[in-house]
Amino acid sequence: MDRFEVPARVSDGSSSPVPTMAAYRKAFMDATNDPDAFWLKVATERLAWRTPPTIGLEGSYHTIAESPLRWFGDGRLNITESCIDRHADAQPDKVALLWEGDDPADVRKITYGELKREVSKAANALRELGLKKGERVIIYMGMVPEAAFAMLACARLGAIHSVVFGGFSAEAVRDRVRDCGAEIVITQDFGLRGSRTIALKDVVDRALEGEHGVNKVLVFQRTGGDVGWSPDRDVWWHEAVAAASDDCPAVECSAEDPLFILYTSGSTGKPKGVVHTCGGYLAYTSYTHEVVFDLRPDDVYACVADVGWITGHSYIVYGPLANGCTSLMFESVPTYPDAGRYWDMVDRHGITIFYTAPTAIRALAAQGDSFVTRSSRRSLRVLGTVGEPINPDAWRWYYDVVGNGQCNIVDTWWQTETGGMAIAPIAPATATKPGSATLPLPGIVPVLMDDKDRIIRGPGEGRLCLAQPWPGQARTVWNDHARFVATYFTHYVGYYFTGDGCRRDNDGYHWITGRVDDVINVSGHRMGTAEFESVLVSAEAVAEAGVVGFPHPIKGQGVYAYIVLQPGQAASTELETALQKILRAQIGAHAKVDLFQFVPGLPKTRSGKVMRRILRKVAEGEPEKLGDISTLADPGVVEAIKAGAKRLA
């Protein structure tokens, strides 16, 4: 089995709290044996508190149905004082946000001093618009610094933001506005990605048609193109913010006040609003950001995710700024102007830590090495991945070609719900194996369950649960604590169930095998198959739909849709196009079916339950592994499904 020791260049000179394997073992034991003491120390040392906490964890997984977990419950703070003010005092001229726009020549450097002024102005502008502590704000923007200013401005006022990824449709924005009861939406005229414009303001206008809850829409001007305008509702960012004072006292919050809501898909129903709170989330993201990447004072840190996902929240904005580092924000796409964009960018800014997703690595590897080797990448020290399992080939390409064999790869496993990284190598300490997220971080206690719900000791493969609470984990689902409990805490009583499968090898290394629920992960985007199905059956021609994932060489998983037509309807490419359009309108541009198969019926048990395992096996190209199909109501359907199976061209 391949094992890569930490290159000396990475292990030497670490100043992090966990620089070695010995330090890791000690931290892991401390956090496992006395989590209160461990995390209270982390939280009080790392964050700027108005009133430092004296209480660690309150509650447990056994009592979670009655009351959500709390961490640092008597602590009081405003998290922007940790992310901004103390750095603006100590190092006002250090670059906080380093922005590279769609055009590579378009660069902005926002120092901590400037960040304080910009966020204060934006917060004052929002206050003028009526925003108060505890109220919700939807942020629907591209990757511009103002998106980070907007998040932090909400936090400054104790308001709760919910960032919606700029690819979501008007329907999806409306659902989220309604679910969280937003009073204000912050957007921009157009987004810019790979020289294409995205009409963000127009989507917001359509989302808010007939909605009465949203009083104000604050619009950042990115391109200056024409947009619709509702004079009573819409306000230009540049006008409101320019007029505002750059002094905005931060509103004091409890550690357990919500910081943000982020919607994420599950196996059933509409996306859930996962709630993260102030103190525990910031302590955890700050700690893991420093420890996993081995953050050093002069690092130029680049995470090329989008702020619309948890990765952008935790590891572009909150963790990095809490740590006073220089964090890059990237507006464009990895292939614009060509497939060398990331690596040229590394040289342009002297990036030392680079964090991306396996799907991007696979897509770029497919373009050939010359796009990489034309850059020096001399500055790189740590390379991270997140979002889905990374196949060993892509891992090796990242290691050999991008990292020149001199960088450690940190394959970080975590989820929207975990708030921060949970199973991951520690750059200066952990030897790696291609495809493994390696070992649990301090405070994380993974447990594998077999199919009889027994705990697997030692090596084995099963369902991944986490046994012990940690400060960064989600506290609830917005307005639906019962759903939170039902989704994560009822499968295995006393444990947090992740929804992932996992194998543990002889060295105790963890290999995530993918979702075991009806969730698919396409290019690192989490989508529920039930969401796809409900949109597809809303089309007039469609009687039933069954959607599953299948292995896709670039995207990780592709989307395979089995469609049963209404009587009298016929399959056609026009119909497929029409169905794609509906998906795009109801969910967003990223919700695309890769393969359609029109079938006479779905395989159902006599009690009418769809046997998804059969759909999955056929889509995965393994029709011979269907297993027991004796409970099927109509075995003939399976033959038709097998005979008509589709494969990627």
- 365-394 residues near ligand WT7, rule: CB under 6 A: 386-389
Does 586 interact with ligand WT7 (rule: CB under 6 A)? no
Return the number of the residue (220 or 489) whose C-beta is nearest ligand WT7.
Answer: 489
Stretch touching ligand WT7 by CB under 6 A, among 277-285, 413-421, 444-452, 540-548? 413-421
With CB under 6 A as the contact rule, the residue among 120, 415, 432, 529 that binds ligand WT7 is 415
Using an 8 Å Cβ cutoff, are 469 and 35 in contact? yes
Return the number of the residue (264 or 332) whose C-beta is nearest ligand WT7.
Answer: 264
Two tokens, residue 443: 């405070």
Return the number of the residue (324 or 471) whose C-beta is nearest ligand WT7.
Answer: 471
Does 416 interact with ligand WT7 (rule: CB under 6 A)? yes
**In 3-state terms, what secondary structure has residue 170?**
helix
Does 218 interact with ligand WT7 (rule: CB under 6 A)? no
Residue 589 Cβ vs ligand WT7, minimum distance, rounded to whole Å: 17
Does 7 interact with ligand WT7 (rule: CB under 6 A)? no
Residues contacting ligand WT7: total by CB under 6 A: 22
* Residue 491 buriedness (CB in 10 A; 0-12 / 13-18 / 19+): middle
CA 231 to chain CA centroid, Å, is 35
Rounded to 5 degrees, φ, ψ at 161 are -95, 155
Rounded to 5 degrees, φ, ψ at 550 are -145, 155
Residue 388 Cβ vs ligand WT7, minimum distance, rounded to whole Å: 5
Q: Residues 517-546 vs ligand WT7: string with x where CB under 6 A?
A: ----x----x--------------------
Buried b or exposed e, range 592-623, using 16+ CB within 10 angstroms: ebbbbbbbebbbbeeeeeebeebbbbbbeeeb
With CB under 6 A as the contact rule, the residue among 24, 343, 413, 489 that binds ligand WT7 is 413
Using an 8 Å Cβ cutoff, are 478 and 275 in contact? yes
> Nearest Cα to 395, choosing from 351, 425, 429?
425
Stretch touching ligand WT7 by CB under 6 A, among 99-107, 366-374, 494-502, 547-555? 494-502
Using an 8 Å Cβ cutoff, are 311 and 163 in contact? no
Residue 47 Cβ vs ligand WT7, minimum distance, rounded to whole Å: 22
Does 500 interact with ligand WT7 (rule: CB under 6 A)? yes
Return the number of the residue (281 or 413) whose C-beta is nearest ligand WT7.
Answer: 413
With CB under 6 A as the contact rule, the residue among 69, 184, 437, 448 that binds ligand WT7 is 437
CA torsion sign, 208 to 214 to 215 to 216? negative
In the chain, the amino acid numbered 463 is R
Stretch touching ligand WT7 by CB under 6 A, among 157-165, 252-260, 318-326, 496-504? 496-504
Residue 626 Cβ vs ligand WT7, minimum distance, rounded to whole Å: 25
What are the residues whose beta carbons fall under 8 Å from the beta carbon of 93, sequence distance 6 or more?
111, 112, 113
With CB under 6 A as the contact rule, the residue among 499, 546, 549, 558 that binds ligand WT7 is 499
Return the number of the residue (56 or 499) whose C-beta is nearest ligand WT7.
Answer: 499
Return the number of the residue (183 or 411) whose C-beta is nearest ligand WT7.
Answer: 411
Angle at the Cα of 550 from the Cα atoms of 544 and 554, rounded to 5 degrees? 130
- 304-343 residues near ligand WT7, rule: CB under 6 A: 309-311
Output the CA–CA distances (angstroms, integers) from residue 563 to 250, 268, 508, 595, 643, in the order listed.
53, 19, 43, 11, 15
Which run of H or E residues covers position 618? helix 612-619
Q: Residues 241-280 vs ligand WT7: string with x where CB under 6 A?
A: -----------------------x----------------
Using an 8 Å Cβ cutoff, are 621 and 647 in contact? yes
Contacts with ligand WT7 by CB under 6 A lie at: 264, 309-311, 386-389, 411-416, 437, 498-500, 512, 515, 521, 526
